[in-house]
Amino acid sequence: MSDSTGPGPNPEQSELRNALASGKKKRRNILIGAIAVVAVAAIAVVVSVVVGNQGSSAEAAGGSASPAERLSVKIAVSEDTQLQDAVKEVAAEKGLDVEWVNVKDWVLPNTELVAGTVDANAFQHILYLSAFNAENDADLTPVFSTVITQWGIFSKTLTDVKDLADGARIAIPDDPSNGGRALNILAAAGLIEIADDAGNFPTVEDVTSNDKNIQFVPLPATSIVQQFDDPSLAAVVVGTSYFDPSQGITKDDALFLDDSLDAKNLPYVNVIATREDNKDNPAWKILEEAYADKRVKAALDDEYAGNSIFVNVPVKDLRDKLAELQDEAK
């Protein structure tokens, strides 16, 4: 998990680091993301917006709105968090009423969005979103970035990746986007090699070298942390924020941590996503302003101990990367 101080502005930084430098300097290193998503991810969010009035210029500027001008937002999440409470409080001040609803599924948020039952979601990173769009011929698109989550290799019994025994069983996410991320992390740790042409969605079939004969155990990303104590598993690859605070596991316990701020991790930036025909809804501006409030940032740092941080990536960059990933996924 990440410490509380993020990188300052530096012309030598990667694209993602430069995007981060435009926000608060003091940040904690680490996606939908999910989630997606995805993952914060693991922070799963689905947004349903009911617009009673298109709002005034005062709302767009973040000012208070009269009851007749208010927007209502229904947000489904995977758990109740301090972050949600902070967003709700700040959004209300800006004329946006938020209602949180727990959702335990990583597929339903997108299928409900396509069906028009909800108007947006924020549970996933753009790589997961690209896979969904490609598989379902959907047109979901990001409206702004939220957080990125640091991932790593964790073990109940080992203190170094070099101690992995021959034939060790390692749990990785069973969905294409997060499973590919896990394989890339194992490769970065020197445990396996992946084909150069594997792209952003490598699978176990793309592993070209596996000296330790690692056995990959695919599991739903949301359940991997519950298998951490499974004696049959030598290690798990998962987002640092996925662990429950009661487990007492932090970034310092990782055998290996991925560099979330590297440009290669842009696909793992979590986003608020909506349908193409709804991307100009005025509610997104208010919601984005609420996420950017210092009280919301403080809540994120306090609750996730720096495992996830807010990022401010231009929406054009998010959409361009989504298009690239979507073409590859097809």
Q: What is the C-alpha to C-alpha distance for residues 218 and 245, in angstroms, rounded to an integer?
A: 24
* Percent of the chain at pLDDT exceeding 70: 78
Do both 233 and 309 map to the same domain?
A: no
Q: What is the C-alpha to C-alpha distance for residues 32 and 271, in angstroms, rounded to an integer?
A: 7
Mean pLDDT of 157-161: 95
Do both 159 and 202 map to the same domain?
A: yes
Positive or negative CA dihedral for 219, 120, 78, 288? Answer: positive
- Final residue in a domain of this structure, among 257, 279, 313: 257
- Final residue in a domain of this structure, among 215, 232, 257: 257
- State residue 7 phi and psi, 5-degree precision: -75, 145
Residue 52 located in a structural domain: yes
Residue 11 located in a structural domain: no
Do both 135 and 162 map to the same domain?
A: no
Determine contact, residues 126/142, Cβ cutoff 8 Å.
Answer: yes
Determine contact, residues 186/173, Cβ cutoff 8 Å.
Answer: no
Single-letter amino acid, residue 306: G
Residue 279 located in a structural domain: yes
State the Rg of the chain over Cα.
Answer: 19
Residue 9: how many CB atoms within 10 A of its CB? 11
Do both 140 and 179 map to the same domain?
A: no
Average pLDDT of the chain, as a whole number = 80
Do both 84 and 229 map to the same domain?
A: no
Q: Cβ-count burial of 313 within 10 angstroms (0-12 exposed, 13-18 middle, 19+ buried)? A: buried
pLDDT tens for each residue of 204-214: 999 999 999 99
pLDDT at 134 over 90: yes
pLDDT tens for each residue of 6-20: 323 333 334 454 544
Q: Which domain holds residue 38?
A: 21-149+263-329
Q: What is the pLDDT of residue 103?
A: 75
Q: What is the DSSP code (8-state) at residue 221?
A: G
Do both 138 and 271 map to the same domain?
A: yes
Residue 15 located in a structural domain: no
Do both 142 and 171 map to the same domain?
A: no
pLDDT tens for each residue of 306-330: 788 899 999 999 999 999 999 988 7
Q: Cβ-count burial of 266 within 10 angstroms (0-12 exposed, 13-18 middle, 19+ buried)? A: buried
In order, the DSSP letters of 177-199 are HHHHHHHHHHHHTTS-EE-GGGT
Confidence band of 66 (pLDDT split at 50, 70, 90) = low
pLDDT tens for each residue of 122-132: 888 999 999 99
Q: What is the pLDDT of residue 68?
A: 56
Q: What is the pLDDT of residue 271?
A: 93
Task: Give the H or E element holding residue 38.
Answer: strand 38-38
Mean pLDDT of 45-66: 40
For position 114, which CATH number holds?
A: 3.40.190.10
Do both 285 and 186 map to the same domain?
A: no
Structure tokens at 218: 């695919």
- Final residue in a domain of this structure, among 222, 257, 292: 257
Residue 213 located in a structural domain: yes
> How many independent structural domains does the chain possess?
2
Report the SS3 class of residue 238: strand
Do both 120 and 44 map to the same domain?
A: yes
Do both 145 and 44 map to the same domain?
A: yes
Say which residues have a Cβ less than 8 Å from residue 76's Cβ, sequence separation at least 6.
Answer: 44, 45, 46, 47, 48, 100, 101, 102, 103, 109, 118, 121
Mean pLDDT of 86-91: 94
Residue 145 located in a structural domain: yes
Do both 98 and 138 map to the same domain?
A: yes
Residue 16 located in a structural domain: no
Do both 179 and 316 map to the same domain?
A: no
